[in-house]
Amino acid sequence: MPAEFSDLPPRASAVLHSLRAVGYDVPTAIADIIDNSLAAGASTVAVTMTFEGTRSFVRITDDGVGMDAAVLDMAMRLGSQHPDARREAGDHGRFGLGLKTASFGQCRRLTVRSRPAKGEEQTRSWDLDHIEKLDSWALRHGPWDSDSELRLGHIPTSGTTVLWEKLDRVVEDPAHSSAHEDFDRKIAETVDHLGMVFHRLIDATTAPVKITVNGRQVVGWDPLLSRHQSTREMAVTKLPLAGVQVVVVPYIIPPESRLSPDDARRAAGPHGWLAHQGFYLYRNRRLLVTGGWLGLGRRDPQYSRARIRVDVDNRLDDLLRIDIRKARARVPDQIRERMRIIAEKTQEEAAKAWSRSAAARSPAGPGAPIVPIWAVDSAGPRTRLRVNATHPAVQAVRAKLGDEAGLLDALLAVVAAAVPVELLLQMAGSAPAAATPADSTVTSLPSEVRALTRRIVDMMRAQGLTDIVMQERLGKAEPWSEIGPEALLSLIREIK
């Protein structure tokens, strides 16, 4: 007896609401729309983000090849292509869901107008409120109202315009006092994100892509500082995988002291030096993974200058497990060990460079590094911080306590065990630390530190040390290393 089958199409309203939970934020959603523009051969993409309370909207317009009615219908269809279908080398899509999931994650109405060369304009639109009412895949031909028509505008030659309206996920509470400010923040985040993920296309020497947000041209941010004269490029490795090559290029970027203020800010990136160490995975020159060690290492301050470029082909999407949002990937088992070795070598070189930079910052020059208050302990499974027992302040207190010095050691052990390392790493990653220049005065020292300085100087004098020797020793330790040697010597001489 032959098997019986029933065609059970999914409920339209349920599916579309589920897709809203994929996890796009505004910048990643707009980047996904721009991917489609680039696949269509666009050289210019204009993003408009306008706050008008409940009538706020986002528009992305490109000058690509455009679409006729049949192609536009296919583009508006969910799952418009099979993930394993062969694509053009420059195609950044995969699932046939990007346009819809990125859009519905931000708005309840998506309208697309497109025009191919030598063709007519075509307009299609999804509205979640209408779909919910009918519980049907009701795709509208044309705009919904005069406001939509005005915002879409006309395409003079060829290209595509994507319009988001009913921005319930972008403007969550239009009546709230901070709604406009929150919207402006999302504009700034979008500019930063687009400059990061498309930087190799924006800064290309041939056929660069121009992206604007509200008329402001997006500037590319190269997390690798690959064109900086002080960046060190390590050996290129080509790893064969599934018939194509994965190209891996490690970089050791310069320290902040070797960078101009503008370059230092750009090197720190949107999330700070600590957050941006690790692998940078590019597909067709589009950045997908923005730092992190992909499970092959852990973040550490001494690795902050280690950045590794990985170029992959879009035919490897399945092996790399690239997700719909193009934000996550994994290292395939076939190349995992080779990648781990590359990561470790790069971390080792970064740690050496970090140590050399610390020595160079010492007033006594290389070979006489600053004595830090905190020591990094990376020996265990987790990075920990402990108070440096060789620091002059610790030694002074221990000498004062005499036989009771064990109490100090116990206290420092408790402090070290309770240091919130993960919180500190998050804070360091969210706000790049500015370089602290040497102060010519002692006014930057808190009163508590000045009082401690007096105690330490008294102890050193009792040991018979000269003012010059005391200045040399204190000048190699935090926080006295932050002031100039002459100012420190004057402070010591003031203490009688």
DSSP string computed for 32-90: HHHHHHHHTT-SEEEEEEE--GGG-EEEEEE-S----HHHHHHHHSTT-S-TTS---TT
Average pLDDT for the chain: 83
Comparing 311-320, 329-338, 396-405, 437-446, which segment has the lowest mean pLDDT?
Answer: 437-446
Among 194, 217, 240, identify where a domain stops.
217
In the chain, % of residues over pLDDT 70: 83
In a domain, 488, yes or no: yes
Residues 159, 253 within the same domain = no
Give the per-residue pLDDT at 91. Answer: 45
Mean pLDDT computed over 191-214? 95
Domain that holds residue 122: 12-217
Residues 122, 213 within the same domain = yes
The segment with the largest mean pLDDT, out of 26-35, 71-80, 357-366, 474-483, is 26-35
Residues 154, 82 within the same domain = yes
Comparing 339-348, 401-410, 441-450, which segment has the lowest mean pLDDT?
Answer: 441-450
The type of residue at 180 is H
Give the per-residue pLDDT at 326. Answer: 62
Whether 120 has a pLDDT exceeding 50, the answer reads yes
Give the per-residue pLDDT at 440. Answer: 44
Give the per-residue pLDDT at 389. Answer: 80
Residues 311, 451 within the same domain = no
Buried b (16+ CB within 10 A) or exposed e, 302-324: bbbbbbbbbbbbbbbbebbebbb
Task: Place 474 in a pLDDT band, splitting at 50, 70 and 90.
Answer: confident
Of the chain, the end-to-end C-alpha distance in Å amounts to 106
Is residue 486 within 8 Å of 373, Cβ to Cβ?
Answer: no
Query: Of 138, 170, 157, which is closest to residue 50 (Cα–Cα)?
Result: 170
Comparing 170-179, 298-307, 482-491, which segment has the lowest mean pLDDT?
Answer: 482-491
Residues 485, 439 within the same domain = yes
In a domain, 225, yes or no: no
In a domain, 368, yes or no: no
Query: Tens digit of pLDDT for each residue in 378-412?
Result: 655 556 677 888 788 888 888 888 888 777 877 77
CATH number, domain of 86, equals 3.30.565.10
Query: Tens digit of pLDDT for each residue in 126-147?
Result: 999 999 888 888 999 999 999 9
Query: Tens digit of pLDDT for each residue in 9-62?
Result: 788 888 877 778 777 899 999 999 999 999 999 999 999 999 999 999 999 999
Give the per-residue pLDDT at 439. Answer: 45
Among 293, 326, 359, identify where a domain stops.
359
Query: Tens digit of pLDDT for each residue in 280-324?
Result: 999 999 999 888 898 898 888 889 899 999 999 888 888 887 776
Among 217, 249, 279, identify where a domain stops.
217
In a domain, 2, yes or no: no
Give the per-residue pLDDT at 275. Answer: 81
Mean pLDDT computed over 97-108? 88
Query: Six-digit token pair at 34?
Result: 């721009």
Total count of domains within the chain = 3
Phi-psi region at 292: left, alpha or beta (left = phi > 0; alpha = psi -120 to 50): left
Give the per-residue pLDDT at 481. Answer: 75
Residues 186, 59 within the same domain = yes
Residue 29 DSSP one-character state: H
Residue 94 CA to residue 87 CA, distance in Å, equals 8
Query: Six-digit token pair at 319?
Result: 């092996």
In the chain, % of residues over pLDDT 90: 45
Task: Place 422 in a pLDDT band, splitting at 50, 70 and 90.
Answer: low
Quick count: other Cβ atoms within 10 Å of Cβ 207? 8
Give the per-residue pLDDT at 369. Answer: 57
Is residue 443 within 8 Å of 449, Cβ to Cβ?
Answer: no
Is residue 455 within 8 Å of 495, Cβ to Cβ?
Answer: no
Residues 100, 135 within the same domain = yes
Residues 384, 437 within the same domain = yes
Give the per-residue pLDDT at 377. Answer: 66
Q: Higher pLDDT residue, 81 or 353?
A: 353
Whether 368 has a pLDDT exceeding 70, the answer reads no
Going 279 to 281 to 282 to 287, the CA torsion angle's sign is negative
Comparing 108-117, 267-276, 464-473, which segment has the lowest mean pLDDT?
Answer: 267-276
Residues 152, 94 within the same domain = yes
Beta strands in 236-300 (DSSP E): 237-241, 244-252, 278-283, 286-290
Comparing 89-98, 258-267, 331-340, 352-361, which segment has the lowest mean pLDDT?
Answer: 89-98
Residues 422, 464 within the same domain = yes
Task: Place 443 in a pLDDT band, splitting at 50, 70 and 90.
Answer: low
Is residue 294 within 8 Å of 288, Cβ to Cβ?
Answer: no
In a domain, 146, yes or no: yes
In a domain, 5, yes or no: no
Give the per-residue pLDDT at 52. Answer: 96
Residue 289 CA to residue 293 CA, distance in Å, equals 10
Residues 20, 164 within the same domain = yes
User: For the chain, how long is the longest CA-to-CA vector?
Assistant: 106
* HSE value, Cβ hemisphere, 13 Å, CA-based, for 301: 20
What is the arrangement of strands in the sheet containing 216-217, beginning at the earlier edge strand? 140-141, 122-127, 109-115, 159-165, 57-62, 44-50, 210-213, 216-217
Query: Tens digit of pLDDT for each residue in 48-97?
Result: 999 999 999 999 999 999 999 999 999 998 864 544 445 454 444 443 46
Residues 255, 379 within the same domain = no
- What stretch of H or E contains 456? helix 447-462
Quick count: other Cβ atoms within 10 Å of Cβ 45? 26
Partners of 124 in beta bridges: 112, 141
Residue 185 CA to residue 255 CA, distance in Å, equals 29
In a domain, 366, yes or no: no
In a domain, 365, yes or no: no
pTM, two decimal places: 0.73
DSSP for 402-435?
A: GGGHHHHHHHHHHHHHH--HHHHHHHHHHSPPPP
How many residues does the structure list for the chain?
496
